[in-house]
Amino acid sequence: MKKSVGFIGWRGMVGSVLLDRMQKNNDFKKIKPVFFTTSQVGHKTPSILGCSQSFLEDAYNIEHLKELDIILSCQGTKYTLIIYKKLRKIGWKGYWIDASSALRLKNNSIIVLDPINMNSINCALQKNIKTFVGGNCTVSLMLMALGGLFQKNIVDWVTVSTYQAVSGGGAKYMLETLKQMGYIYNKISLNNTLLNKGVLEIEKIARDAVQDRFFPKKYFTVPLAGSLIPWIDIPMKNGQSKEEWKGAVETNKILDSKNYIPIDGTCVRVDSLRCHSQSFVIKLKNNISIKDIELWIDSHNPWVKLIKNTPEDTKKNLTPAAVTGTLNIPIGRVRKLNLGKNYITAFSVGDQLLWGAAEPLRRILNILISQ
Ligand SMILES: NC(=O)C1=CN([C@@H]2O[C@H](COP(=O)(O)OP(=O)(O)OC[C@H]3O[C@@H](n4cnc5c(N)ncnc54)[C@H](OP(=O)(O)O)[C@@H]3O)[C@@H](O)[C@H]2O)C=CC1
Ligand SMILES: N[C@@H](CC(=O)OP(=O)(O)O)C(=O)O
């Protein structure tokens, strides 16, 4: 019999990308989907071929949720913290799949990224673990790019500088960034300045637009378009941001590291729309040739693609514009650093709504429905 799967958060960015991928892969044919909402009870369900439900159900209705075999939530931490506990408390034994960070570090949960940790997922299934959580987008994208090096166990430590897309904040942040971009452009074009004025005069109009009191910054609180914000998520006691803290903690849990691998750096929000980019400095345990490093990286999984270290290849293939909307994980600028023979650098890009969020959830759902 087909398993019943409840979808919560399907209207958000991660959820919408998930539904799109599931439709493209005919995943809905394998399950009996039920769509829920936290704010639009009674509104129409998304149009999914073969889905007979017409109206959205209440995502807080425990009586209804407890009947499901699997619940997949892309709604966020707050929802998970309220509902998950209630369901487990009344003895619900179904699989819980989650995009949020709420349960990632619990002992009885697995962070899922099957091209990296299929062994851990199999072990978890044997142990009857029922909670499977997608990783932090930056962490999942780093592991998809550097999986070949971690697999060879040659990484001593990593330091990373990130360039993270606004989609990481959710729908409201994405829309606000586009509004900011539009606001600047409108001020310039309204003044008909593009043709008549010098570049610095135009830049001054743009600068004044960013600083005027009507500039849209309700969610970011500061301008992002044409700027950046070197802080993501809440502060930790040691001066890291929580996004930076997750780098090492989640990576080591996913890899099930016998020896802890230090990973740290600075996470930065930029006005890219949905691709996170990352610049790595990696200390290897041994002096490995660039040829071997490239081979190990490139052959690790079907999505990672080594980009030649030339200006042409880099500009064509190693940018958010080239990657957005695809599952490709290009990694380039691979070279030894002048710091010493064991030090290398690399740069990677990935769509943070696909491998960074929705795709690992879609894949674990497929694994679980065949259990
Ligand atoms: N964004 C990301 O890259 C990643 C996110 N995650 C996790 O997934 C969770 C969801 O993220 P994300 O999808 O980005 O969150 P969104 O803010 O895009 O959506 C979350 C929920 O907000 C409600 N909502 C309110 N207004 C809108 C609107 N205008 N458009 C769409 N939905 C709206 C919807 O719930 P309803 O229909 O019930 O009203 C929706 O399901 C996060 O909280 C995070 O924990 C994990 C990895 C990466
Ligand atoms: N924090 C990430 C997105 C995200 O939702 O991460 P997490 O699932 O770890 O809270 C970003 O802002 O780019």
Check if the beta carbon of residue 96 is closer than 8 Å to that of residue 131.
yes
Residue for token pair 């949960």: 109
Report ipTM for this prediction.
Answer: 0.95
Beta strands 109-112; 131-134: pairing state: parallel
The answer to whether 74 is a known catalytic residue is no
* 35 Cα: distance to centroid of ligand 1 (angstroms): 15
The arrangement of strands across the sheet holding 57-58 comes to 57-58, 31-37, 3-8, 70-73, 95-98, 131-134, 109-112
- CATH 3.30.360.10 domain locations along the chain: 139-166+229-351
| Site to substitute for ligand 2 among 163, 172, 233, 234, most atoms within 8 A of C-beta | 233
Q: Where residue 189 falls among pLDDT bands split at 50, 70, 90? A: confident
Q: In the prediction, which pLDDT does 198 show? A: 86
CA angle 262, 267, 307 (to 5 degrees): 80
Distance CA 152, CA 132 (A): 26
Q: Which CATH superfamily is domain 139-166+229-351 in?
A: Dihydrodipicolinate Reductase; domain 2 (3.30.360.10)
CA 68 – CA 31 distance, rounded (Å): 11
* Residue type, position 229, single letter: I
Give the mutation target among 20, 74, 143 for probing the ligand 1 site: most ligand atoms within 8 A of CB.
74
- Ranges in the chain annotated CATH 3.40.50.720: 4-135+358-370
pLDDT, tens digit, for every residue of 216-241?
Answer: 999 999 999 999 999 999 999 999 99
The structure tokens listed for 267 are 């996470």
Q: Convert 86-125 into a string of H (helix), E (strand) and C (coil).
A: HHHHCCCCCEEEECCCCCCCCCCEEEECHHHHHHHHHHHH
pLDDT tens digits, one per residue of 301-351: 999 999 999 999 999 999 999 999 999 999 999 999 999 999 999 999 999
Q: Closest residue (by CA) to atom 40 of ligand 1?
A: 12
Quick one: pLDDT at residue 51? 84
User: What percentage of the chain reaches a pLDDT higher than 70?
Assistant: 99
- pLDDT at res. 50: 78
Cβ atoms of 118 and 333 closer than 8 Å: no
pLDDT tens for each residue of 167-188: 999 999 999 999 999 999 999 8
pLDDT the model gives residue 194: 65
Answer for the pair 223, 210: CB distance below 8 angstroms, yes or no: yes
Torsion angle, CA of 121/127/133/136, rounded to 10 degrees?
-60
- If one compares 21 and 202, the residue with the highest pLDDT of the two is 21
- State both tokens at 94: 């179904």
* Region 283-292 average pLDDT: 98
HSE, CB side, 13 Å, CA atoms: give it for residue 26: 1
Say whether domain 4-135+358-370 belongs to CATH 3.40.50.80. Answer: no
Spatial distance between the Cα atoms of 76 and 78, rounded to a whole number of angstroms: 6
Is residue 192 very low, low, confident or very high in pLDDT (cuts 50, 70, 90)?
low
Q: What is the DSSP string of 257-302?
A: -SS---EEEE--B-S-SSEEEEEEEEEESS---HHHHHHHHHTS-S
Query: 359-369 vs 13-24: helix axis angle to the nearest 10?
Result: 50
Among 2, 1, 3, smallest CA distance to 95 is for 3
Question: How far is ligand 2, taken at its centre, from the CA of residue 163, in Å?
Answer: 13
Per-residue pLDDT tens over the stretch 4-34: 999 999 999 999 999 999 999 999 999 999 9
For residues 43-57, average pLDDT: 90
Half-sphere exposure of 27 (CA within 13 A, CB side): 22
Give the ligand at the shortest distance from the Cα of 272.
2
Task: Name every residue whose Cβ is closer than 8 Å to that of residue 245 and which is 6 or more positions away in sequence.
Answer: 236
- Sign of the dihedral through C-alpha 10, 11, 16, 19: positive
Q: In the annotation, is 276 catalytic? A: yes
Cβ pair 278, 347 in contact under 8 A? yes
Nearest CA to ligand 2 atom 11: 168
Q: How many residues can be counted in the chain?
A: 371
Q: Which of 74, 267, 275, 276 is catalytic?
A: 276
DSSP summary character for residue 76 = -
Specify the 3-state DSSP secondary structure of 55: strand
pLDDT reported for residue 193? 57
Place of tokens 């998809």: 144
